Structure 1
Amino acid sequence: MEAFTTLGVMYYMFLVGLEMNLAPILRIRRKSIGIALAGILIPLAIGFGSYFVIAPKADQTDKKWLRQKGAFVWGIALTATNLPDVTRILSDLKLLRTETGRIALSCAYLSDIGTWLLLVTLITISHDDVLPIAIGTVVFVLFCMFVARPVLLWLINQTMDGEEYTEHQVQFVLCGVMLWGFITDAIGLYSIFGAFMFGFILPSGQLATLITERLERVTSWIMLPLYCLLNGLRTNVPEMIPQGRNGGHIAVFICLAWVAKFLSSLLVSIYCNTERRESVTLGVLMNTKGLLAIIVINIGRDLMLLDIESSAVMVIALLVMTFTVPPIVRHTYKPEKPMMLHKRRTIQSNGLDSPLQVLAGIHSMQSMRGIVNLLQLSHATRQSPIHVVAVHLVELTEHTSAALLVVHDSYKSSSFRASEENAKAESGQIIEAFEDYQRESNGTASVEVLTALSPYTTIHVDVCSIAEDKRASIIIIPFHIQGKNNDEPESSSTSIKDVNQNVLAGAPCSVALLVNRGLGMSNHRPRALLMFFICGPDDREGLAYAWRMAFHPEVRLRVVRFLGDDAKAPAPLDNPKDSDGAFTIYEEHARQRAIDEDYLNEFKSETMNSLAATYTEEVVNDLNETLTAIRRIMEREPCELCIVGRGKQSTSPLVANLLEFTEYPELGALGDAIITSNFAGNSSVLVVQQHTNNVPRSEAGSSRFLANVGPWKVKNWQLKGTS
Structure 2
Amino acid sequence: MALNASETMFLSITEVDERRQRYEVCLDAPPHIVSDGLWRSPQNTRTPMRSFLPLFELQVLLIFVITQICRLILMPFKVPLFISQMMAGLILQALFVGEPVGSYMRVLFPYGTHDTITTITSIGFVIFIFINGVQMDFSLITRMGKKAWTIAIIGLVVPILTAAAILAVLTHPLLEVIDHNYNGFLVALVSHTVISFAVIASLLNELQIQNSELGKLALSAALVSDVLCTFGTTIGTVFMFSEGDGTKEIVTNLLGLFAMAIFVPLVCRPVMFWIVRRTPEGRPVKDGYLYVIIVLLFLLGWVSVKINQEFVLGAFILGLAVPEGPPLGAALVKKLNFFGTTFLLPIFVTICMLKADFSSTYSSTSVFAVCLVIILTHLVKILSCIIPALYCHMPFRDALSLALILNSKGVVEIGLYCFLYDYKVIDGLTYGIMILSIIVVACIVQWSVRFLYDPSRKYAGYQKRNIMSLRAWSELRILVCIHKPRHISSMIDMIDLCCPTAESPIIVDALHLIELVGRALPIFIPHRIQRQESGLQHRSYSDDVILAFDVYEHENPHVVTAYPCTAVSPPSLMYEDVCNLAFDKVASIIILPFHLRWSTDGEVESDEKSIRALNCRVLEKAPCSVGILVSRGSQRMREESSIRVGLIYLGGEDDEEALCIAKRAMMKMGMKLVVYHLVYEAEEEWDEGEAMEEMKHNIRYQQIVAREGSETAAFLSEVAKEHDFFIVGRRHGIESPQTQGLTNWSEFPELGVIGDFLASPDLESRASILVVQQQVALKPRKGWLF
TM category (shorter chain) comes to: 0.7 to 0.9
TM-score after normalising by structure 2: 0.70
Distance 1:253 1:469, change over 3 A: same
Whether 1:233 aligns to 2:348 is no
Q: How does 1:275-674 map to 2 (within 5 A)?
A: 277=396, 283-326=403-446, 339=459, 345-350=465-470, 352-393=472-513, 399-401=519-521, 421-422=537-538, 426-427=541-542, 429-449=544-564, 456-457=571-572, 459-460=574-575, 463-464=578-579, 466-484=581-599, 493-520=608-635, 526-537=641-652, 538-562=654-678, 597-599=686-688, 607-608=695-696, 610-611=697-698, 613-618=699-704, 623-635=709-721, 637=722, 639=724, 641-648=725-732, 650-674=734-758
Pairing 1:108–2:222 present: yes
Q: What residue number does 1:12 align with?
A: 128
Q: Residue 340 and residue 417 in structure 1: after superposition, are their counterparts in 2 closer, same or farther (change >3 A)?
A: same
SS in 1 for 2:424: coil
Q: What's 1:212 paired with?
A: 333
Q: Deviations over 1:35-77 (max 9, x none)?
A: 544443454467785996699634xxxxxxxx76655543442
Q: How far apart, CA to CA, are the structure 1 residues paired with 2:467 and 2:268? A: 58
1:47·1:72 contact (CA, 8 Å) conserved in 2? no
Kept after mapping to 2: 8 A contact 1:137/1:187? yes
Q: Which residue of 1 aligns with 2:256?
A: 136
Q: Aligned residue pairs: how many?
A: 643
Displacement of 1:256: 1.3
Cα distance in 1 for residues equivalent to 2:392 and 2:617: 39
Cα deviation code 1:140-193 (max 9, x no counterpart): 332223333333333432234454434444444444434443443455543322
| 1:57 aligned counterpart, secondary structure | helix
Residue in structure 2 matched with residue 80 of structure 1 by the alignment = 194
2:629 & 2:176 partners in 1: Cα distance? 63
Quickly say closer, same or farther: Cα 1:642–1:88, change in 2 above 3 A.
Answer: farther
Q: Distance in 2 between matches of 1:480 and 1:672?
A: 13
1:334 Cα deviation (Å)?
7.8
Identical counterparts, % of pairs: 25
Taking the aligned partners of 2:308 and 2:777, their CA distance within structure 1 comes to: 68
Letter in 2 for 1:553: M
Please say if residues 360 and 475 of structure 1, whose CA atoms lie closer than 8 Å, have aligned partners that are also in contact. yes
For 1:178-189, list aligned pairs within 5 A: 178-185=298-305, 188-189=308-309
CA distance in 2, matches of 1:255, 1:462: 37
Q: Secondary structure at the match of 2:478?
A: strand
Shift of 1:513: 0.8
Counterpart position of 2:314: 194
Instruction: Write the distance in 1 (CA, Å) between the matches of 2:611 and 2:237.
Output: 46
Mapping of 1:677-692 within 5 angstroms? 677-691=761-775
In 1, the alpha carbon distance for the partners of 2:470 and 2:506 equals 12
2:19 maps to what in 1? none
SS at match of 1:559: strand
Distance in 1 of aligned mates of 2:318 and 2:605? 35
Contact 1:355 1:385 in 2 (8 A): yes
Q: 1:329 to 1:387 in 2, by over 3 A?
A: same
Which stretch of structure 1 is more off in the superposition, 411-420 or 361-370?
411-420
Q: Of 235, 240, 244, which residue of structure 2 is paired with 1:121?
A: 235
CA contact (8 A) 1:43 1:78 kept: no
Judging changes above 3 Å, is the alpha-carbon distance between structure 1 residues 349 and 678 closer, same or farther for their aligned structure 2 residues?
same
Shift of 1:683: 2.9
Contact between 2:637 and 2:643, CA under 8 Å: does it hold in 1? Answer: no
* 8 A contact 1:414–1:448 mirrored in 2: no
Secondary structure in structure 2 of the residue aligned to 1:446: strand
Structure 1 vs Structure 2 CA RMSD:
4.2
Partner of 2:84: none
Which AA in structure 2 matches 1:111? S
Q: Distance in 1 between matches of 2:301 and 2:640?
A: 64
AA matched with 1:297 = Y
Distance 1:206 1:464, change over 3 A: closer
Q: Relative to structure 2, which stretch is displaced further, 184-193 or 376-385?
A: 184-193
The aligned residue for residue 579 of structure 1 is none
Contact 1:19 1:419 in 2 (8 A): no
In structure 1, the residue corresponding to 2:737 is in which secondary structure? coil
Partner of 1:587: none
What are structure 2's unaligned runs of at least 5 residues?
1-116, 779-786
Shift of residue 6 of structure 1?
1.8
For residues 735 and 217 of structure 2, the distance between their equivalents in structure 1, rounded to whole angstroms, comes to: 51
- In structure 2, relative to structure 1, the CA distance for the partners of 1:502 and 1:20 (3 Å cut) is closer
Give the superposition deviation at 1:646. 1.9
Q: Answer yes or no: is the 8 Å Cα contact 2:650–2:679 preserved in 1.
A: no
One-letter amino acid of the structure 2 residue matched with residue 687 of structure 1: V
**What SS class does the counterpart of residue 551 from structure 1 fall into?**
coil
Q: Deviations over 1:271-314 (max 9, x none)?
A: x7767947666544431233332232122112221122111222
- How many Å apart are 1:366 and its aligned residue? 3.7
Q: Which amino acid aligns with 1:494?
A: K
Report the AA paired with residue 107 of structure 1. A
Q: Distance in 1 between matches of 2:342 and 2:536?
A: 20
Tell me how far 1:395 sits from its aligned partner.
5.7
1:698 is aligned to none
Post-superposition offset of 1:660: 0.5
Kindly provide the amino acid, as one letter, of the partner of residue 274 in structure 2.
W
